[in-house]
Amino acid sequence: MEEQRYVVFLFPSVSYALKAEKILKVARIAHKLIPVPRHISSDCGVCVRITEDKQQDVERELLGKVEWDKVLLL
């Protein structure tokens, strides 16, 4: 079986990540808030981790509601 791949959404600040979390909870999309991995950014905030196959769903839900900085493969 192929190993599950993850992507992370990075936001301007924790306020944005928490707003995204609230939207994803309502949309029932599985996600996890995790500290921003050091190899991605030295920022001390959190990001939203999802499985790669959900990336488009998440982008559709967040578009126009909360802005994100970038999406990266873990």
Long-range contacts of 16-22, Cβ-Cβ distance < 8 Å, separation of 24 or more: 16/66, 16/67, 16/68, 17/45, 17/46, 17/47, 17/48, 19/65, 19/66, 20/48, 20/62, 20/66, 20/68, 21/48
- Pick out residues in 6-65 that bind another protein (CB under 8 A): 12-16, 18-19, 21-22, 33-36, 41-46, 65
Instruction: Tell the smallest beta-carbon distance from residue 53 to another protein (Å).
Output: 25
Residue 15 or 53 having the CB closest to another protein: 15
Instruction: Tell the smallest beta-carbon distance from residue 46 to another protein (Å).
Output: 5
Residues in contact with another protein by the rule CB under 8 A: 12-16, 18-19, 21-22, 33-36, 41-46, 65-66
